[in-house]
Amino acid sequence: MDAQLIRFSKFISLVLRHQPQHYGLTLDAQGWATIDDLLAAANRAGVPLTHALLQQVVAQNDKQRFAISADGRAIRASQGHSIAIDLALTPREPPPLLYHGTASRFVASIRTQGLLRRSRQHVHLSPDITTATKVGLRHGSPVVLTVASGAMHRDGYQFYCSENGVWLIEAVPVAYLAFPKQ
Ligand code: HQG
């Protein structure tokens, strides 16, 4: 994705995941906005987004962050929200192991509290170590924790998988976490 499309992607993430009201946009209960309303909100904020550019942002997005509705008229972020919306995902059986990328400075706290969702609606887990390492790098020196997702599922915890393949869960207790040897 070129630099301009990345800027648009960050703006759309901000609006659809965190601050729709600030930009005068109303999402429905599942997080959808009409594309026309989103473009109007962007233009009011001085962001020169058009239908054609939006289609490029959605199609070329490295993580497929956004989904377009079946009728082509609405858009939502597939995960990552801090505002209360219901993605209406169905619980799914996870693979036996999932991974969480974090930064080394958070590890001591995670050892005592487990993984908490902090400002977001869910804890985000990755299906592979490479992806988790990239997530951790966003925060600093990356550390990848292994989550015993199969055992958690057997113990009754509910897992969801977003449209773009990010595993979501309310929290992960310490008992299900493996930390790399230091
Ligand atoms: C950490 C990106 C201390 C947690 C990614 C993380 C993801 C704790 C940070 C998505 C803790 C929260 C989400 C505890 C958790 N004590 N720190 N008990 N429990 N943490 O950004 O998972 O590019 O809210 O380890 O790919 O980093 O935006 O979550 O480091 O899918 O599409 O608290 O964002 O996607 O940070 O990232 P975040 P995340 P996008």
Q: Indicate which residue's Cα is closest to atom 26 of ligand 1.
A: 135
pLDDT for residue 20 is more than 90? yes
- Strands of the chain, DSSP E: 33-34, 66-68, 74-77, 98-103, 123-125, 142-147, 160-161, 167-169, 177-178
Top-level CATH class of 98-178?
alpha beta
Q: What are phi and psi of 113, to 5 degrees?
A: -100, -15
Cα(123) to ligand 1 centroid in Å equals: 7
Mutate to test the pocket of ligand 1, among 115, 121, 161 (most ligand atoms within 8 A of CB): 115
Q: According to CATH, where is 1.10.10.970 located in the chain?
A: 3-77
**The pLDDT of residue 181:** 85
Mutate to test the pocket of ligand 1, among 118, 126, 170 (most ligand atoms within 8 A of CB): 118
Q: According to CATH, where is 3.20.170.30 located in the chain?
A: 98-178
State which fold the 3-77 domain adopts. Answer: Arc Repressor Mutant, subunit A (1.10.10)
**The pLDDT of residue 73:** 97
Q: What is the pLDDT of residues 106-116, one digit of tens each?
A: 999 999 999 99
> Among the residues of 29-176, which ranges form H helices?
35-44, 51-60, 107-113, 129-137, 149-154
pLDDT for residue 182 is more than 90? no
Q: What is the pLDDT of residues 61-101, one digit of tens each?
A: 989 999 999 999 999 999 999 999 999 999 999 999 999 99
Cα(124) to ligand 1 centroid in Å equals: 7
**The pLDDT of residue 1:** 84
Q: What is the pLDDT of residues 36-70, one digit of tens each?
A: 999 999 999 999 999 999 999 999 998 999 999 99
Q: What is the pLDDT of residues 117-172, one digit of tens each?
A: 999 999 999 999 999 999 999 999 999 999 999 999 999 999 999 999 999 999 99
